[in-house]
């Protein structure tokens, strides 16, 4: 069966789950409380259901398992996505139900993510036996790090991707749209490599994100929450690692990387000078506070995401 069927199935499942899940999240009081430090226009988002990332994680997983070859690679990708999603779920739950605005401590999230990354790396070079080769973008060169360095690379890929997607999840539809672009691109890479299980999984996740975006586009009726951003980041990282395209992911997801760098630069600059370099970090808030409408920021960053995906496509085939 063509992997493309999972794209449509993921979309339809997520779309159909929306009318069930949104009222459920609201009835469980799993709703957003917007921090006062954010843009003033975002205060109106308070009370919007969150943890909607469960919508595309459930729909994407079901579609992939129902329509794809359920081999070890698919199960590994699903496990890594859900493992990271559970870290985000704990963060959301602590914020909303235990009323602790900062959620899980940053060091705890990083530690859990690092453990998942090390475990996934050991699985990749052990039972999955994919080797340690890593494609260098824009070349035909396959870098062969030793196993210890490969484990560190997998750890960094998982932690960096999940946190980058999380930091980008600040405007309606932004992280979901960027994630959909990268997922579609890596589905194409998986097809070209003949790894149809990962192609099916990537397309199922992309389709499910499309169904989620129906409810998440401005004005959003649900937010993905950390369960969604960490789960999506885990899914993208898993597919990239299993296809040995960790460095190509940096090119494809460069907007995610820029969002993360904007936060790091803001912190370093403020500590050194006592002044802010950006109006507010991450970058999307800087653009918004500069007078740009929320939807205009999202569309522009989607456009840059498409350009980065095109560059990554060239990087893969060069």
Could you read off the pLDDT of 96-143 as tens digits, one per residue? 888 787 789 999 999 999 999 999 999 999 999 999 999 999 998 999
Buried b (16+ CB within 10 A) or exposed e, 294-311: beebbeebbeebeebbeb
Predicted structure pTM score? 0.96
Both tokens assigned to 211: 């169904």
In a domain, 235, yes or no: yes
In a domain, 157, yes or no: yes
Q: pLDDT tens across 196-250, in order?
A: 999 999 999 999 999 999 999 999 999 999 999 999 999 999 999 999 999 999 9
Q: How many domains would you assign to the chain?
A: 1
Indicate the average pLDDT of the chain.
95
In a domain, 178, yes or no: yes
In a domain, 177, yes or no: yes
The confidence score (pLDDT) of residue 3 equals: 86
In a domain, 166, yes or no: yes
In a domain, 148, yes or no: yes
Q: Of 51, 14, 1, whose CA–CA distance to 204 is shortest? A: 14
The confidence score (pLDDT) of residue 292 equals: 96
Both tokens assigned to 148: 């210890």
In a domain, 284, yes or no: no
From CA 91, how far away is CA 148, in angstroms rounded? 30
In a domain, 13, yes or no: yes
The confidence score (pLDDT) of residue 37 equals: 57
Range of the domain at 75: 4-247
| Residues above pLDDT 70, as percent of the chain | 97
The confidence score (pLDDT) of residue 221 equals: 96
Cβ neighbours for 23, distance < 8 A, ≥ 6 positions apart: none
Q: Is 36's pLDDT higher than 60?
A: no
């Amino acid at each position: 069966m063509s992997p493309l069927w999972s794209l449509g199935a993921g979309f339809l499942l997520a779309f159909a789950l929306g009318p069930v899940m949104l009222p459920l999240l609201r009835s469980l009081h799993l709703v957003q409380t917007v921090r006062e430090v954010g843009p003033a226009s975002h205060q109106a988002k308070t009370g919007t259901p969150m943890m909607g990332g469960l919508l595309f994680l459930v729909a994407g997983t079901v579609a992939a398992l129902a329509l794809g070859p359920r081999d070890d690679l698919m199960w590994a990708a699903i496990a890594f996505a859900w493992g990271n999603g559970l870290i985000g779920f704990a963060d959301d739950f602590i914020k909303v139900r235990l009323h602790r605005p900062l959620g899980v401590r940053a060091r705890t999230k990083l530690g859990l993510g690092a453990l998942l990354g090390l475990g996934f790396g050991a699985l990749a070079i052990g039972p999955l036996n994919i080797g340690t080769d890593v494609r260098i973008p824009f070349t035909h060169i396959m870098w062969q790090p030793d196993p210890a360095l490969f484990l560190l690379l997998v750890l960094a890929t998982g932690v960096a991707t999940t946190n980058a997607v999380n930091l980008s999840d600040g405007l309606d539809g932004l992280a979901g749209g960027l994630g959909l672009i990268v997922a579609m691109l890596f589905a194409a890479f998986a097809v070209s490599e003949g790894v149809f299980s990962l192609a099916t999984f990537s397309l199922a996740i992309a389709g499910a994100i499309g169904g989620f975006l129906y409810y998440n586009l401005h004005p959003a009726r649900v937010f993905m929450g950390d369960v969604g951003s960490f789960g999506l980041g885990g899914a993208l990282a898993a597919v990239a690692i299993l296809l040995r395209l960790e460095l190509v992911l940096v090119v494809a997801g460069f907007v995610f990387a820029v969002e993360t760098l904007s936060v790091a630069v803001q912190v370093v600059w403020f500590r050194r000078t006592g002044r802010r370099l950006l109006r507010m970090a991450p970058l999307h808030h800087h653009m918004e506070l500069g007078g740009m409408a929320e939807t205009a920021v999202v569309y522009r960053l989607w456009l840059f995401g498409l350009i980065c995906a095109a560059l990554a496509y060239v990087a893969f085939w060069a």
